[in-house]
Amino acid sequence: MSKDLDDDMFVCRCEEVTVREIRQAIAEGARDVVGIKRRTRAGMGLCQGRTCEKMVQQILSQELGISPEETGTSSARPPVKPVDFGTLAKGVQ
């Protein structure tokens, strides 16, 4: 399946990571979802991989000839949003 994907297609829309960047990360040594995440930021955006992780697993699986289960998963973290100092100061007495 991933061999047919357009290299310019976005896999991670939050971080604007393309299929080409995922394949490049694999060529540079990424062997699991966490390795892709570290090299490309795929899965680090607002959705924390909820949108793109399956696609990253499929590309890894196809490129490396392994099962999707062997690609692992990443750890999702709560989204972070900017907070102004005034909001922080309200809690300090």
| Contact (Cβ atoms closer than 8 angstroms) between residue 5 and residue 17 | no
Pick the CATH number of 2-89 from 1.10.3720.10, 1.10.10.1100, 3.90.950.10, 3.10.20.90: 1.10.10.1100
pTM to 2 decimal places? 0.78
| Contact (Cβ atoms closer than 8 angstroms) between residue 53 and residue 74 | yes
- Exposed / middle / buried, residue 3 (Cβ in 10 Å: 0-12, 13-18, 19+): exposed
Domain boundaries, the chain: 2-89
Backbone Cα Rg of the chain: 16
pLDDT (tens digit, 0 to 9) for every residue of the chain, 93 residues total? 556 889 999 999 999 999 999 999 999 999 999 999 999 999 999 889 999 999 999 999 999 999 999 999 998 677 667 778 888 788 665
| Contact (Cβ atoms closer than 8 angstroms) between residue 37 and residue 43 | yes
